[in-house]
Amino acid sequence: MNLPLTLPAGHELVLRVTPMPADVNGNGDIFGGWVMAQVDIAGGVAAARRARGRVVTVAVNAFQFKQPISVGDVVSFYCKIERVGRTSVTVRVEVIAERNPANPMLVKVTEATLTYVAIDRNGDKREIPPEAAASPAPIASPGPAA
* Residue stretches of the chain with pLDDT short of 50: 1-2
pLDDT score recorded for residue 131: 84
pLDDT score recorded for residue 101: 86
Q: Hey, is 98 helix, strand or coil?
A: strand
Domains of the chain, each with CATH number or no CATH:
12-122 (3.10.129.10)
41 burial type by CB count under 10 A (0-12 exposed, 13-18 middle, 19+ buried): middle
Residues 6 or more apart whose CB falls under 8 angstroms from that of 41 comprise 15, 77
* pTM recorded for the entire structure: 0.85
CA 129 remoteness from chain centre: 21
Which DSSP helix (H) or strand (E) runs through 95?
strand 88-99
| Alpha-carbon radius of gyration of the chain | 17
Distance, in Å, from the CA atom of 99 to the CA atom of 71, rounded to the nearest integer, reads: 9
